[in-house]
């Protein structure tokens, strides 16, 4: 996705920390001491597979200890929880990752993230040989990455020659009957596992698969049962960063695993994964740039897992275009045809709830989808409770406003519906239109579409419409129109006047020649609040449907401007029926056609709403 504000943000993080040269290369593995210390890549992948990246994200490096959560998951998949739990505990150790020790009481490794537990996990992979064991591990990792991964033979040879401490751990595990078989074969598989090549993007996709409950969002393949994913992430949260796990969870708050190859992988369940690669390591054996980047990203985007006071569910309530859900303003037939044809060029994204980063990412992505075909973007925040924490420097807000400003730069129109006014603190761009209600925004968008796409011959709404120009008379001949008009009585009303009330007996048909009226209904018996059902303008009629059905008035009719009407009373209709039955037949035909048109329009709107709710 080009020009995404999320990738721009990752670029800012890259530039902020690329000159941070703290830390050292992992020189205890000779091959790792030769890597370029300036490499730096950042990738964010959502649980549904959207990838944002910046920097050296395709450069390969060895996965090292980030392999541990995945091998642990494969061990559980092969043997079940009970068996694995008899071999590996799930307690935080507080020890360094390569500590040669077991729990004093259980005589088991304290968790699967330290080397003792990880070597045990490797030993539990079902295979007839060490070669088959690694091949199963490599294939498993490849499924998580959605591509075929390979071994870095040089790093493997280097670890094989110098990994004496890990050999000591393997023999200790053998001594306590934690691992079975030949420790040398197990340790070779472990070194191969750690020497598997990945890129930062691979790691992010692997993490996104964990975030997506074990289903790879790229391939769609279910790789692990969700119960195993739950266990993996729980252990990552308490022990993934070794003796720095407490500081990490306090300051960053994302279940994570680091590796001495320079990678760090963090996973937020149900939301996203973040992968960072930079080979200079801090005293805990984690990427120094990576830790700094994670701390900043988590703080900027409010990603701490304990930020539980706000919903992490989808913030998009509905997405529609104005041809699917037009305003309540009745339009002429010609206008409706234009809006039916070009209304898709005005897109409404209706949000709800609390917008955290994952929700903002979804909104931003939806804004950029098919953007070339859209003229007007309407962001409806009516049901939004909050956008992160609302401070002036909030990164998520800035990302969302950047999208709007980018649309303006592309010649698009941007509209925000904000009934509360709480979300516009950062908006200094006067070109972004702001409305208090969705209805006002829809009417404005319709006018813009009509102005741009109507040809000069289209019959558009105007403030005054002569009675002879009403669409109602489209099937009348000239004499019928004259005879009909002779039966009409003129009426005048001021802005704010009430023409009819709910429950009134139907009095006839009203033709609006000037002004505007609204049909409204009280919200509750004792309420003083009215909900507008529709708006009628010059050239339109009302009262004919109730006349045909014999029902009493279902709405209050108010003038929204100084209004001129022509009124056909029931007495006039009765006279017409007796004295000029052909004229009466033409009238009832016009009423039927108008009713059908209204029914068809309403049915299409309802169908669109049902489709959106199903989505």
Cite the annotated binding site by residue number. 65, 115, 159, 166, 190, 242, 260
d(CA 542, CA 522): 19
pTM score, two decimals? 0.74
pLDDT attached to residue 391 = 46
Neighbouring-strand partners of residue 250? none
Q: What is the CA radius of gyration of the chain?
A: 34
Domains of the chain: 5-301 (3.40.710.10), 316-453 (3.30.750.24), 467-605 (2.60.120.10)
Instruction: List all residues 6 or more positions away from 265 whose beta carbon is below 8 Å from its beta carbon.
Output: 66, 203, 204, 206, 207, 256, 257, 258, 273, 274, 275
504 touches 552 (CB < 8 A): yes
Q: How far, in whole angstroms, is CA 217 from its chain's centroid?
A: 15
Structure tokens belonging to residue 180: 């079975």
Torsion of CA 76, 80, 81, 87, to 10 degrees: -70
In three-state secondary structure terms, 355 is strand
What does DSSP say about strands 376-387 and 508-514: parallel, antiparallel, or unpaired?
unpaired
**pLDDT beneath 50: ranges in the chain:** 1, 309-312, 390-393, 609, 612-615
Neighbouring-strand partners of residue 522? 530
Neighbouring-strand partners of residue 490? 566
305 touches 253 (CB < 8 A): yes
d(CA 106, CA 117): 13
d(CA 166, CA 203): 24
Q: What percent of the chain has pLDDT over 90?
A: 54
Residue labelled with tokens 């300051």: 251
pLDDT attached to residue 73 = 98
Average pLDDT, the chain: 87
Q: What's the pLDDT tens digit per position in 300-336? A: 888 888 875 444 456 888 889 998 888 888 787 788 8
Q: What's the pLDDT tens digit per position in 233-259? A: 999 999 988 777 888 999 999 999 999
Nearest to 207 by CA among 189, 235, 229: 229
d(CA 185, CA 170): 10
Cite the annotated binding site for substrate by residue number. 65, 115, 159, 166, 190, 242, 260
Structure tokens belonging to residue 165: 């401490």
Q: What's the pLDDT tens digit per position in 480-515? A: 999 999 999 999 999 999 998 888 888 889 999 998
pLDDT attached to residue 458 = 53
Q: At CA 149, angle to CA 144 and CA 150, rounded to 5?
A: 150
Q: What's the pLDDT tens digit per position in 86-106? A: 999 998 876 777 788 888 889
d(CA 204, CA 265): 7
pLDDT attached to residue 12 = 94
């Amino acid at each position: 996705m080009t020009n995404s504000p999320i990738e721009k943000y990752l670029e800012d993080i890259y530039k902020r920390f690329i000159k941070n040269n703290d830390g050292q290369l992992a020189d205890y593995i000779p091959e790792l001491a030769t890597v370029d210390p300036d490499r730096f890549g950042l990738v964010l992948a959502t649980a549904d597979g959207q990838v944002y990246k910046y920097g050296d994200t395709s450069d390969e490096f060895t996965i090292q200890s980030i392999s541990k959560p995945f091998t642990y998951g494969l061990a559980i998949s092969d043997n079940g929880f009970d068996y694995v739990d008899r071999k590996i505990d799930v307690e935080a150790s507080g020890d360094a990752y390569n500590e040669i020790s077991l729990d004093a009481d259980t005589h088991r490794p304290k968790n699967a993230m330290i080397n003792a537990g990880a070597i045990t996990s490797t030993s539990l992979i079902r295979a007839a040989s060490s070669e088959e064991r690694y091949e199963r591990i490599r294939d498993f990792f490849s499924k998580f990455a959605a591509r075929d991964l390979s071994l870095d033979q040089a790093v493997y040879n280097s670890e094989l020659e110098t990994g004496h401490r890990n050999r000591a751990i393997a023999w200790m595990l053998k001594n306590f009957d934690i691992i079975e078989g030949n420790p040398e074969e197990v340790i070779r598989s472990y070194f191969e596992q750690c020497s598997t090549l990945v890129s930062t993007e691979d790691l992010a996709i692997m993490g996104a698969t964990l975030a997506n409950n074990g289903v790879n969002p790229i391939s769609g393949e279910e790789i692990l049962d969700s119960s195993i994913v739950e266990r993996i992430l729980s252990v990552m949260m308490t022990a993934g960063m070794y003796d720095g796990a407490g500081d990490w969870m306090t300051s960053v708050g994302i279940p994570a695993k680091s590796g001495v190859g320079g990678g760090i992988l963090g996973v937020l369940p149900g939301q996203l994964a973040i992968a960072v690669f930079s080979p200079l390591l801090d005293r805990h054996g984690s990427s120094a740039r990576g830790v700094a980047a994670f701390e900043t990203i988590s703080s900027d985007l409010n990603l701490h897992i304990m930020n539980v006071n706000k919903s992490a569910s989808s913030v998009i309530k509905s997405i529609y275009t104005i041809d699917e859900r037009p305003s309540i303003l009745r339009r002429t037939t010609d206008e409706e045809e234009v809006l039916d044809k070009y209304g898709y060029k005005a897109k409404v994204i209706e949000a709800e709830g609390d917008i955290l980063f994952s929700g903002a990412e979804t909104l931003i992505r939806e804004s950029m989808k098919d953007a070339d075909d859209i003229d007007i973007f309407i962001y409806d925040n009516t049901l939004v409770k909050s956008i992160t924490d609302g401070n002036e420097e909030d990164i998520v807000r800035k990302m969302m406003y950047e999208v709007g400003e980018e649309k303006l730069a592309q010649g698009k129109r941007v509209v925000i519906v904000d009934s509360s006014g709480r979300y516009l603190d950062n908006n200094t761009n006067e070109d972004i239109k702001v409305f208090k209600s969705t209805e006002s925004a829809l009417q404005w968008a319709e006018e813009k579409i009509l102005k741009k796409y109507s040809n000069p011959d289209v019959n558009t709404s105007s403030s005054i419409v002569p009675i002879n120009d009403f669409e109602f008379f489209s099937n009348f001949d000239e004499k019928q129109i004259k005879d009909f008009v002779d039966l009409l009585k003129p009426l005048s009303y001021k802005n704010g006047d009430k023409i009819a009330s709910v429950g009134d007996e139907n009095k006839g048909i009203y033709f609006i020649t000037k002004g505007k009226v609204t049909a409204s209904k009280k919200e509750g018996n004792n309420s003083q609040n009215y909900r507008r059902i529709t708006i009628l303008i010059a050239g339109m009629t009302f009262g004919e449907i109730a006349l045909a059905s014999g029902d009493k008035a279902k709405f209050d009719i108010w003038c929204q401007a100084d209004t001129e009407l022509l009124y056909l009373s029931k007495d006039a209709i009765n006279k017409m029926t007796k004295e000029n039955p052909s004229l009466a037949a033409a009238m009832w035909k016009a009423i039927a056609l108008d009713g059908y048109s209204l029914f068809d329009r309403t049915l299409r709107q309802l169908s669109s709403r049902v489709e959106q709710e199903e989505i």
